[in-house]
Structure 1
Amino acid sequence: MEFTKNLLIVAVITAIFFGIGFGGATGVSAEPPKMNFLASSFGTSSYILGVAYEDISKRFYPDLIFNMRETPGLIYNLKKLATLTPEEKKETIITAYDGLTWLAVRGKSPFKKKLTMKIKMLCAPPALTTYFMTKNPDIRTIEDLEGKKVAVGKKTQLGWGQHPKAYLYEGAGLEGKVKLQFVGLKHALSAFKDNLVDAMASGAYVNPITYDLILDPQTDEILSIGQKVYFLSPGNDAAIKRIEAVTGLSHTITIPPGKIKFQERPIIANLGMTYYAGAEELREEAAYHFVKMMITNVDKLRKYHALGKLMTRESLVYGMTKENLHSGAYRAFKEAGLIE
């Protein structure tokens, strides 16, 4: 009897030592999954939001070790993700842009070869939509810009340069019929204020669910001085499809009249989706906890950046499907009742 009792004591001590226990695992909890987040260059909204996510993870979400990394930009992010080792891909996510990814998988400039790796989405911050504004009341549609001077961003910019070009050329059929000037937004604004151009690129970051928006600084400055302007949609449904064919912008938005000061008619425009993504190799638990952290703390983001005010639980999953989501992200959204 004493021998049996001693054996039981030894068994209990051994079980405790190895963290087994008689009722299941009782050892030290496993370390939370790690995630390296490739944001963008210093001072950009992507960078500031990345700082916010890291701070939130440290203060409010201990189930994820989140490390924000500054990068040269979104082109670098895609190229970097493609060159990571399989082990590095398991704990790396990036800030991406759908128009840029569309170019990457086709090997179009600025990419020298096709991106062949599969990218899985996690969730989305606010989207960018661009269109045009003019002071001329006789310019009522984008087609009325024929023969006119139009200032946009730089050639190296997608949302403010190449996409407005597509609106004019492919959407409205004005290639060779409009005087398009790639001068950068700062110079475009100066030219617009001095009446040196007839129209310029305008836009906003939007929540595509609520239609809440934050105007770009150029438009905001024009409206703040009380200047009457007219907004021009990139086009009708047919034009939007032609634009999608050359930009990859598959989402659209219709901004109802009155959402912007002086806006008299709906603005129908393509939507440029920024999103967070990873490789297929990204760990299930890392993807799950990142999205769960975003869902449970989205209301705190307004304290870090103006774009945080646009983000809601529902907007995080905009444009996402079971097929394009990482399985861990899908699980988090499904648990929250945000996706079927």
Structure 2
Amino acid sequence: MYQSIKRGLLVLAATLFALPAFSASYTIGTGSQSGTYYPLGGMLAKVWSENIPDFNMRAEVTAASVENTIKVATGKQLVGVSQGNVVLQAANGQKPFPRKMGVSVLFALYPNVVQFIVPADSDIHSIQDLKGKKVSLGAPGSGTRVSATNILQTLGISTSDIRAQSLNYTATTNAIANGQIDAGVIVGSLGVGAITELALTHDVRILSFTADELKKITAANPSYIEQDVPQNSYNKVPAFKAPAVWNVLVVNKNLDNKLAYQMTKIAFEHMDEIRKVINVTQFTTIDNMNKLNGIALHPGAEKYRQEQFAK
């Protein structure tokens, strides 16, 4: 019996060693399919999966920034796309996060513009005119909702001053098109698909912030910058001024240094390929890697950045 068991164990061992090695599978948290996060996450997943040994990643549709940051911090996602202000709030344990989250930044991506959309013939011409109106502030768990709420509060408008709705990108533009809401907020890249598609079929405007409003916002939220958007950035939409915040790739602060370095290196080595599909990654450069103030880059990413500047 002993010899039989021994032979069985040897056969089992030989079988195990003969099995092919499986790649580790990961996800990158993105956003809705009508935004920029999802196709960008798909491109990053593609270049990482194709160029990092034993590495397989897929893009996951999520509610975007807040959800991605929480999932990264709790180990449910390897990496996520997020607005920088959301990552800073997570690192500092500020609302909507219940405590300090163990997160870090791989590198900055591109600026997101805070875009308050109204029909072209609307009587809403300023941020203050939103009081008493039905306004979509973004999906629960999204950076859009965090940014919209923070900015309105900074300008003295609480959610009780408006009839707040909680809609994602697609639902927001559909509701504007159908006259179901008075205004909607989309915090996304300039030229984001949801607004581009809406402007092709409906006449819309995007509210312009005053110089005083922008000054108050950037003073209260250092992660924001002022953005001048030229006329016809969307079909027949006049020029406007708005606050903008950098998007980043958020990772767990305990992510393996070697893997963080590999992911950063591979991403930048294939950035030209990514730019052919995602135009806003023209802003994703070595110089802009640490564009988000208030939080350090992950050590693995910082090692790559320092190597590039040393060349």
**TM-score (normalizing by structure 2):** 0.69
After TM superposition, the structure 1 stretch with the greater mean CA deviation from structure 2, 49-58 or 67-76, is 67-76
Confirm or deny: 8 A CA contact 1:39 1:94 kept in the other structure: yes
SS of equivalent to 1:275: strand
Confirm or deny: 8 A CA contact 1:234 1:240 kept in the other structure: no
Cα RMSD over matched residues? 4.0
Structure 1 residues 44-84: Cα deviation after superposition (integer angstroms, max 9, x where no partner): 5656544433432454x35x553326668455554455456
Letter in 2 for 1:201: V
Shift of 1:110: 4.6
2:167 to 184, 204, 228: 184
Change (3 A) 1:113 1:324: closer
SS of equivalent to 2:206: strand
Aligned to 2:227: 254
1:98 to 56, 62, 84: 84
| Higher gyration radius (CA) | 1
SS of equivalent to 2:184: strand
Letter in 2 for 1:262: K
Check if 1:215 corresponds to 2:192. yes
Aligned to 1:151: 135
Shift of 1:254: 0.9
Change (3 A) 1:161 1:79: closer
Shift of 1:223: 1.5
Question: Which structure 2 residues correspond to residues 209-288 of structure 1 after superposition, within 5 A?
Answer: 213-217=190-194, 219-225=195-201, 227-236=202-211, 238-239=213-214, 241-242=216-217, 245=220, 250-258=223-231, 259-271=233-245, 273-279=247-253, 281-288=254-261
Letter in 1 for 2:125: R
User: Any stretches of 5+ residues in structure 1 without a counterpart?
Assistant: 1-33, 206-212
1:67 to 22, 40, 56: 56
CA distance in 2, matches of 1:152, 1:42: 17
SS of equivalent to 2:191: strand
CA distance in 2, matches of 1:163, 1:323: 18
Change (3 A) 1:294 1:160: same
Shift of 1:297: 0.4
Letter in 2 for 1:229: V
Aligned to 1:174: 157
SS of equivalent to 1:39: strand
SS of equivalent to 1:53: helix
Change (3 A) 1:299 1:140: same
Letter in 2 for 1:55: K
CA distance in 2, matches of 1:39, 1:244: 32
Check if 1:319 corresponds to 2:283. no
Structure 1 residues 283-325: Cα deviation after superposition (integer angstroms, max 9, x where no partner): 433222221211110111256xx5x222135276261579712
CA distance in 1, matches of 2:123, 2:67: 43
2:266 to 287, 293, 299: 293
**TM-score (normalizing by structure 1):** 0.64
Aligned to 1:335: 307
Change (3 A) 1:53 1:65: farther
Change (3 A) 1:167 1:230: same
Letter in 2 for 1:144: D
SS of equivalent to 1:264: coil
Confirm or deny: 8 A CA contact 1:94 1:278 kept in the other structure: no
Letter in 2 for 1:230: R
Structure 1 residues 195-233: Cα deviation after superposition (integer angstroms, max 9, x where no partner): 45433324531xxxxxxx32241x2233112x4332213
Check if 1:193 corresponds to 2:177. yes
Change (3 A) 1:51 1:240: same
Check if 1:111 corresponds to 2:97. yes
Structure 1 residues 7-52: Cα deviation after superposition (integer angstroms, max 9, x where no partner): xxxxxxxxxxxxxxxxxxxxxxxxxxx9875412797565654443
CA distance in 2, matches of 1:153, 1:283: 36
CA distance in 1, matches of 2:294, 2:303: 9
Aligned-pair identity in percent equals 19
